[in-house]
Amino acid sequence: MASTISINSLPIEVRRHIYCLVGQQADKGCRWSDRSVFRLSLAQYATVSREWQEAFERFTFYKLHLTPRKLKPFIQIVSSPRRRSNVRMICFHVSLDRYDFRLNDVKETKTERMKNSRVVSVAIYAFFRAMTQWQMANASPLGLKLHFVVASPSDLPTTIKGDIGDSVLALTQRARGSYIELNIASLSLLSINVFSSFRCTGRHLQTSSLLTIVSRLPTLTCLGIELSHDTVCEKYIEQRTKFSISLEPSGGNVTSLILRRPTAFPTSYAMPQKQAWSTFYANMRRFSQQCENFEFDDCIDACEFFAPFMGDAAQYISTMSSTPYWDRLKRLRIRNSYMVARPYLRASTRTQALASIQRLPVAIGRALSHMPELQNARICQCLLAEGQLAWFVVTFKCCANKAVLDIRGFTAGLPMIDAWRSSTASRNVELGIHPDPTKSFME
């Protein structure tokens, strides 16, 4: 009778390869919404033996979901250097009290905001205290990703379909109109040197509170947060200015900056006057020059940001000595809207909006000569007119000595074509232009 072949009889290299394939195949066959089930099923493999445990904990400990109540068992479970080295991402979820569905469109009271702020402050303090036991030597060499979520279970009553078929959570008006202001300075948070990425979602946290957290993460290289609204409101203007001033000392090692506007639109405020040379835009242009990846939406007016490259050619050439130079930037993502909702109308007529939409690609084409490492850029602009939303998209991709400029939604004028060709020529790059087939092309 033939003897049964055991997996343990195989060489250790072969067994490790099998474990890796099992984990990868289970991951590929699992929807993102089923990740908790996927990790639970793989956890059963980890109970077979010590060898299987070490192999499959690479997958089960890859991303950990924590709450304030789970911090104590988390410290005990992930106490060994081996398990800590398997962790790549921590999602820390602070849950606020539920509220009745009849309050979905009712703003929080001052007392409720103060209570939520205290809850979040205490949770952050507890999390930082737990993480101070971690050392970079025991963590992943690439650092950990931290996803901070503040939300009530009642904040997400529905799910809608996104532009590309993916699911998008629809926050209630109460959640979108609320904000968290933390008194973190009084908590004396200790520095944690194991996180390389930080992003925050859910309820809006004021930028001063976010930067206080960021200042305690000295190894941070990727930052994704919400900015205050760009309006005439003095409070928001002050917050944005303080953010731009504090960003460099708080996030001096950040090379990937992702900024977005708050979810709720403050309809009672209008867009401020043009402020291209304000402290905010001057500081943001300066800080962005240390970035390899820079993304923003309506929270930054792209025309104001690239103002040094606006105007006619003579004016542009005369100001070149004072213009910024993004020698590290490899990826750029911009998304601005026109006449969609206050305070981001940006124009009073469709003609004015279209003029700005045409000017921005010209300015960025000129700025390309100051971006020697740029490999990928996408400029999305949308205009709401007569109840219809029109998109104007420019995509730039560069590899080796060849680049492609793809234009959709509008006619590429000669100033735009000349700007992009001149900048790519200065980089010794051959440029191919793909115009929108539904529009005329001015060659």
- Per residue in 273-324, pLDDT (tens digit) is 678 788 999 999 999 999 999 999 999 999 999 999 987 654 655 555 568 9
* Confidence band for 442, pLDDT divided at 50, 70 and 90: very low
Which tops the pLDDT comparison, 167 or 276?
276
Q: What pLDDT is recorded for position 18?
A: 65
pLDDT in tens, 38-81: 444 666 666 566 666 666 677 778 888 999 999 999 988 888 88
Assign 158 a pLDDT band (cuts: 50, 70, 90). Answer: low
Could you report the per-residue pLDDT of 100-129, keeping only the tens digit for each? 988 888 888 989 989 999 999 999 999 999
pTM above 0.95, yes or no: no
Residue 279 Cα distances to 142, 246, 276, 406, 423, angstroms: 34, 12, 9, 34, 28
**Residue 199 or 32, more confident:** 199
Tell me how crowded residue 60 is: count the other CB atoms within 10 A of its CB: 21
Average pLDDT, the chain: 83
Model confidence pLDDT, tens digit, residues 80-98: 888 888 889 999 999 999 9
Is the model's pLDDT at 166 over the cut of 60?
no
In sign, the C-alpha dihedral spanning 105, 205, 282, 407 is negative
Q: Using alpha carbons only, what angle is made at residue 176 by residues 173 and 181, rounded to the nearest 5 degrees?
A: 135
- Residue pLDDT, tens place only, 315-357: 655 555 568 999 999 999 999 999 888 888 888 889 999 999 9
- Output the pLDDT for position 148: 94
Instruction: State yes or no: pLDDT of 429 exceeds 60.
Output: yes
pLDDT at 236: 84
Between β-strands 222-226 and 256-260, what pairing exists: parallel, antiparallel or unpaired?
Answer: parallel
Q: What is the pLDDT of residue 179?
A: 83
For the cut 50, the answer to whether the pLDDT of residue 29 exceeds it is: no
Instruction: Tell me whether strands 158-161 and 167-170 are parallel, antiparallel or unpaired.
Output: antiparallel
Q: Is-contact 283 247, C-beta < 8 A? A: yes
pLDDT digits (tens, 9 = 90+) for 255-266: 999 999 987 666
